[in-house]
Amino acid sequence: MIRSDALAEARTWIGTPYRHQASCKGAGTDCLGLIRGIWRALYGGEPVAIPPYTPDWSEPSRDEVLMRTATALLTRVERPDPGDVLLFRMRDKGVAKHLGVLATSETFIHAYSAHGVVESSLSAPWRRRIVGTFRFPERG
């Protein structure tokens, strides 16, 4: 089942240091790199080339790049289950620009600046920031 495989892979990334624009298990990753790494483990390659991006990616233009890309490549779900992707808006009126994987009903796995890949509590402040929930597509 795709969700259990995605979650199992996400757990293997725990402890990977935070590195902006990276996606290398054990060496460094950011939140997008974590999702990219899970995708590679599930399907073998990445579906699109990722252009260079800055920490304020899309903010000046207010372009919802991650929301648009998640909607195009993943399956939107109303109620996420463990192994599904969570998309967060970190500031009110900001663009969605943080990603994680639901681990349990109370935790999620994400690459977080200065912390690396960790399993964090999906506390009320985090829950309020969720703006999209997605499932990796089933393998054909």
Looking up tokens 């990276």, which residue turns up?
A: 22
Q: How do residues 65-124 score in pLDDT, each as one tens digit?
A: 889 999 999 999 999 999 999 999 988 888 898 999 999 999 999 999 989 999 999 999
> What's the CA gap between 134 and 87, in Å, rounded?
8
Helices first, then strands: H and E counts in the chain: 4, 8
Mean pLDDT computed over every residue of the chain: 92
Q: What Rg do the C-alpha atoms of the chain give, in angstroms?
A: 14
Strand pairing partners for 23? 29
Query: Distance between terminal CA atoms of the chain?
Result: 12
Containing 106, the helix (H) or strand (E) segment is none
Q: Determine contact, residues 94/62, Cβ cutoff 8 Å.
A: no
Tokens of 87: 């998309």
Sequence letter at residue 85: V
Give the model's confidence band at 56: pLDDT under 50 very low, under 70 low, under 90 confident, else very high: low
Distance, CA of 77 to CA of 112 (rounded, Å): 24
